Amino acid sequence: MNRLKEPSTWAGLAGLVQGAKLFVPPQYHFVIDGASIFAGGLAALITEKGPVAK
């Protein structure tokens, strides 16, 4: 569950969800796009934890 707090997890999920477009009918592509926008938005908003590089 700690992985859900990492931005890279959400960015990866957005990419995987876009890959699902190959397997769903075109009328559901808007759902796929919405899910990937949500996951990508979370990836952008969540702050990285750990040491700050200088």
Angle at the Cα of 41 from the Cα atoms of 37 and 30, rounded to 5 degrees: 10
For residues 31 and 51, the model is more confident at: 31
> Is 52 within the bounds of a domain?
no
| More confidently predicted of 47 and 14 | 14
Is 50 a member of any domain? Answer: no
Q: What is the pLDDT of residues 2-46, one digit of tens each?
A: 888 899 999 999 999 999 999 999 999 999 999 999 999 999 999
pTM as predicted: 0.79
For residues 42 and 45, what is the distance between their CA atoms, to the nearest angstrom? Answer: 5
Does some domain include residue 8? yes
Domain that holds residue 27: 2-45
Q: What share of the chain is helix, strand, coil (3-state, %, to 5)?
A: 75, 0, 25
Number of domains in the chain: 1
Residue 1 in this model has a pLDDT that exceeds 80: no
Q: Is residue 21 part of a domain?
A: yes
54 occurs within a structural domain: no
- Look at residue 53 in the predicted model and tell me its pLDDT: 64
